[in-house]
């Protein structure tokens, strides 16, 4: 059962809680008309969560929530930034592996899945965020390993998210690049070696080669598999 929470922190968002659910993203996509703009759905357990490329992500007492936004925005930039800046409030030093994976100590800590809903025109965006609370050796993943309240962490991330969505895209990209762990790294793409040189104002990764410079989107390259050691 999904219940509305009496959120203990001051916020413009409405918070809901469910004990267990297949996917918070799928639920909000399918029921977006039942909830207002700026809804946050938190799950204690998620049994069929999805990552990029439809990879299944099962939770193990992790920090899992999705946001429902009914206005379009630069969420591919503001979401990973909000996670990094929100976690920084508690002393966690994290970075962004383009486009939106969150890393800590060279291991993946969190994943983000952004899905837009259209019905001839834009209806809503649903943003799923999953943060490991414990290390997962089988996946070589990092964990927060903290006793800090999950709700306190979620509130900090949502606060940063709200602040960031008020900024212009150029400012956001400049902030994003300060948290990037990709810039300067070598990337293998279409049988050639490039250097990740920049991220432009549209969020494209700029790859610089010996003879050419190209731009790629997150749909064109799997950066995790393409990075050279």
pLDDT of residue 60: 64
* 131 neighbors 144 (Cβ within 8 angstroms): yes
Q: What is the pTM of this model?
A: 0.93
- CA dist., res. 171 & res. 176, Å (int): 9
pLDDT tens across 112-147, in order? 999 999 989 999 999 999 999 999 876 789 999 999
Q: Which two structure tokens, joined as six digits, stand for 222?
A: 């799997």
pLDDT of residue 84: 98
31 lies in the same domain as 79:
yes
pLDDT of residue 126: 98
Q: What's the mean pLDDT in 192-212? A: 95
Q: Which domain holds residue 212?
A: 186-226
62 lies in the same domain as 134:
yes
Question: Is 54 strand, coil or helix?
Answer: helix
Domain end among 159, 178, 197: 178
211 lies in the same domain as 118:
no
172 lies in the same domain as 195:
no
| Higher per-residue confidence, 3 vs 50 | 3
Here the CATH number for the domain that contains residue 129 is 3.30.930.10
* 100 neighbors 51 (Cβ within 8 angstroms): no
* 57, β-bridge pairs: 49
Q: What's the mean pLDDT in 49-75? A: 80
Q: What's the mean pLDDT in 43-64? A: 74
69 lies in the same domain as 169:
yes
pLDDT of residue 50: 66
- CA dist., res. 217 & res. 204, Å (int): 5
Instruction: Find the range with the poorest average confidence among 6-20, 46-60, 81-95, 188-202.
Output: 46-60
Cis peptide before 99 (omega within 30 of 0): yes
Q: How many domains are contained in the chain?
A: 2
68 lies in the same domain as 132:
yes
Q: What's the mean pLDDT in 48-56? A: 62
pLDDT of residue 58: 61
User: Which residues lie below 8 Å from residue 224, measured CB to CB, with a gap of 6+?
Assistant: 97, 101
11 lies in the same domain as 82:
yes
pLDDT of residue 136: 81
pLDDT of residue 55: 59
155 lies in the same domain as 102:
yes
In the chain, pLDDT over 70 holds for what percent of residues? 94
pLDDT band, very low/low/confident/very high, at 33 (cuts 50, 70, 90): very high
Q: What's the mean pLDDT in 74-97? A: 98
pLDDT of residue 119: 87
24 lies in the same domain as 103:
yes
pLDDT tens across 99-109, in order? 999 999 999 99
Name the average pLDDT for the chain. Answer: 93
pLDDT of residue 53: 45
117 lies in the same domain as 211:
no
pLDDT band, very low/low/confident/very high, at 183 (cuts 50, 70, 90): very high
Q: Which two structure tokens, joined as six digits, stand for 197?
A: 């040189």
Domain end among 140, 158, 178: 178
54 lies in the same domain as 138:
yes
Name the CA dihedral angle for 22, 42, 25, 161, rounded to a multiple of 10 degrees: -160
205 lies in the same domain as 163:
no
């Amino acid at each position: 059962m999904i219940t509305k929470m009496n959120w203990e922190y001051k916020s413009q968002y409405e918070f809901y809680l469910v004990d267990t659910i297949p996917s918070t993203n799928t639920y909000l996509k399918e029921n977006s008309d039942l909830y207002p703009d700026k809804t946050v759905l938190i799950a204690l357990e998620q049994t069929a969560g999805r990552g990029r490329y439809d990879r299944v992500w099962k939770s193990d007492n992790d920090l899992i929530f999705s946001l429902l936004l009914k206005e379009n925005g630069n969420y591919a930039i503001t979401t990973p930034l909000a996670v990094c800046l929100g976690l920084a409030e508690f002393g966690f030093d994290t970075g962004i592996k383009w486009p939106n994976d969150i890393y800590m100590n060279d291991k993946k800590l969190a994943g983000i899945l952004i899905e837009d809903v259209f019905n001839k025109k834009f209806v809503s965006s649903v943003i799923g965020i999953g943060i490991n609370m414990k290390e997962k050796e089988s996946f070589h993943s990092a964990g927060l390993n903290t006793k800090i309240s999950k709700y306190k962490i979620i509130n900090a991330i949502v606060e940063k998210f709200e602040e960031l969505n008020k900024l212009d895209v150029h400012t956001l990209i400049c902030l994003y690049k300060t948290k990037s762990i990709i810039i300067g790294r070598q990337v293998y793409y279409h049988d050639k070696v490039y250097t990740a040189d920049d991220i432009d104002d549209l969020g494209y990764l700029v790859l610089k080669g010996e003879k050419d410079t190209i731009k790629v989107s997150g749909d064109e390259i799997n950066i995790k598999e393409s990075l050279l050691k």
